[in-house]
Amino acid sequence: MKRILLTITLLISANTIFSQETDKDRLKRTEEAVDKLKEEKPNGWSKKGTFTLLANQASFTNWQAGGQSNISGNIGLNYDINYKSDNWTWDNKLISNYGLSKNSGQELVKTDDRIEFNSILGKKAKGYWYYSAFFNFRTQFDSGFDPKNLNVKISHFFSPAYFQIGPGMLWKKSDDFKFNIAPLTSRLIVVHPHFTEFGSSFGVERGDSSRFEFGASFIGYYKFKLMENITAENILSLYTNYLEDPQNVDLDYTLNIVMKINKTLSTNIAFQTIYDDNAFRGFQIREVIGLGVNFGF
């Protein structure tokens, strides 16, 4: 009798352990499936965008330590239109920003100005790799002035305007992690003739209105979570001109950090650095920090 009871107890224990292990395995498989569904989007078109308004203000009245009242604002649009099928991918991104700042007793000053459109078409090769063709366009909304003399205009809408196009290879793990290499890239820089009347402008020679370059391009995109409610978006663009000073690589890097407070409000930090020796022999740096109001659509 004791042997029978012991046998029954062991069988019940084994069945319990087996059931627990099976439940764990099932739970693990379910979690993996959910994660996979989050990463994999259905075939077809997908659209998403964010409109952001950033604002900053500083006010001083009889402040003995010194200080100057100022107010600044920045609006931005980040919009994606993407297509996906089993063998094709087509990613399109529009980025635009415009900002103004006003110090007490002074005129309005532009602090940010950018229009950029990126389009990458890819056909499945193997794994995460695609044969690709890309197009990039950059310009600005408003006039720009010489920092040393605000009466001298040095740029305006579509002057300069940059166009890049070329074939290459795209590595894409997801919409948030990808890069494109294009070793045969054509680049065109366009400026209005009045900016080259007395000298070169943005690499365009005196008396000309455009400059053609041929070289290699690298574009990378990586967006990830730093922690809960905090995301970091990295956008890197590199270009080298085979026809002139190929060792001088043009660089454009942007870091956007968004710290969500709730569905609408967030604290936004934007950092951008540009190196383009045709425009300026040194690093151009832009930093924007502010409370953001975000509208998704």
Q: What is the CATH number of the domain that holds 254?
A: 2.40.160
Q: Is 238 exposed, middle or buried (0-12, 13-18, 19+ CB in 10 A)?
A: middle
Distance CA 141, CA 152 (A): 17
Q: How many domains does the structure of the chain reveal? A: 2
Confidence at residue 183, expressed as pLDDT on a 0 to 100 scale = 98
For the chain, helix (H) and strand (E) counts, in that order, are 1, 14
3-state secondary structure of 63: coil
- The answer, yes or no, to whether the previous bond of 160 is cis (omega within 30 of 0) is yes
Verify that 36 and 145 share a domain, yes or no. Answer: no
Verify that 131 and 237 share a domain, yes or no. Answer: yes
Verify that 126 and 268 share a domain, yes or no. Answer: yes
What pTM was estimated for this model as a whole? 0.81
Verify that 236 and 201 share a domain, yes or no. Answer: yes
Verify that 87 and 209 share a domain, yes or no. Answer: yes
Verify that 29 and 93 share a domain, yes or no. Answer: no
Verify that 117 and 260 share a domain, yes or no. Answer: yes
Confidence at residue 11, expressed as pLDDT on a 0 to 100 scale = 46
Residues 6 or more apart in contact with residue 132 via CB below 8 angstroms: 120, 121, 122, 123, 167, 168, 169, 170, 180, 182
In contact, 189 and 177? CB cutoff 8 Å: no
Confidence at residue 113, expressed as pLDDT on a 0 to 100 scale = 94
Q: What are the CA-CA distances from residue 272 to residues 159, 235, 279, 285 (Å)?
A: 20, 9, 16, 6
Question: Minimal CA–CA distance to 141: which of 170, 163, 160, 113?
Answer: 113
Verify that 228 and 149 share a domain, yes or no. Answer: yes
Write out the residue range of the structural domain in which residue 258 sits: 44-296
Verify that 1 and 83 share a domain, yes or no. Answer: no
Distance CA 47, CA 286 (A): 29
Confidence at residue 10, expressed as pLDDT on a 0 to 100 scale = 45
Distance CA 244, CA 267 (A): 42
Sign of the dihedral defined by the CA atoms of residues 226, 266, 297, 270, in that order: negative
Q: What are the CA-CA distances from residue 82 to residues 29, 192, 226 (Å)?
A: 29, 33, 25
Verify that 153 and 6 share a domain, yes or no. Answer: no
248 sits in which H/E element = none
Q: What is the mean pLDDT of each run of 10 residues along the chain (297 residues)?
A: 47 48 55 52 88 84 71 93 95 95 84 95 97 97 86 92 98 96 98 93 94 97 95 97 95 96 92 92 89 89
Question: Minimal CA–CA distance to 268: which of 235, 233, 296?
Answer: 233
Verify that 117 and 13 share a domain, yes or no. Answer: no
Verify that 99 and 22 share a domain, yes or no. Answer: no
Distance CA 163, CA 11 (A): 73
